[in-house]
Amino acid sequence: MSQEPRYLNRLTWLGLGLTGALLVLALLLATFRTGRWLGKPLPVYGQVADFTLTNQNEQRFSLADLRGRVWVADIIFTRCSGPCLKMTRQMKDLQVALPAKSQARLVTLTTDPAFDTAAVLKTYAQRFGADASRWLFLTGASKEIAHLAIDSLKLTAIAKKPEERDSSTDLFVHSTIFVVVDKRERLRGVFETSGEGIDPVQVRGQILAVLKRLERES
């Protein structure tokens, strides 16, 4: 079997792992969409497992590099003809809105590592004015990305079959959520960024409030 079919098979993140992730995701979104977390301790939804990927500066990057910091993550791909540009603009707005004293980090994973090399991600990051000391774009082995995205962060991505694509860049259906992880590498929040009735300004304010609360935790 060639490397490309293996890659596509792995990127078609279906089966029990994906089903479980979707179920957990539905519960998380319901909690944060309805505001049931307001005024209450933020629940813990799972532990983020260790990983090693590569950032846009071609440096190895692992969970240890985020230890002791709160962070926000999403998943996109640079050839995306769908929601990725909107999501990246929303992440940029979050970067701008973060207080200067905040130690929070922003993490963007690619679901298209065969194309999204570190150099491609660096160009994309620069396009959006990403501060490399605060906003990381990560690529690497598809298996490692899938492990972090599905198992730990409850993000999903499904590779489209050629006959299902509307264009040459219509490659994946993927999550349009931002997830929040605390200083102890635990998933603590999930926020939908697009869709009917979603106000991006309100969502950004909610994420900032969660980050502020989590940064106060020991």
Residue range 157-216, pLDDT digits in tens:
776 667 666 666 666 666 789 999 999 999 999 999 877 788 999 999 999 999 999 999
Winning range, highest mean pLDDT, from 15-24, 73-82, 182-191 = 182-191
Q: How many domains does the chain have?
A: 1
Sort strands 105-110 and 71-76 into parallel, antiparallel or unpaired. Answer: parallel
pLDDT for 218:
80
Has residue 65 got a pLDDT over 50? yes
- Domain hosting 106: range is 3-216
Has residue 10 got a pLDDT over 80? no
What are phi and psi for residue 43, nearest 5 degrees?
A: -70, 160
Output the domain CATH number for residue 133. 3.40.30.10
Work out the mean pLDDT of the chain and round it to a whole number: 83
Structure token pair of residue 104: 């929070």
Q: How many C-beta atoms lie closer than 10 Å to residue 214's C-beta?
A: 21
Is residue 204 a contact partner of residue 72, using CB atoms and an 8 Å limit?
no
For the chain, count helices (H), then strands (E): 6, 10
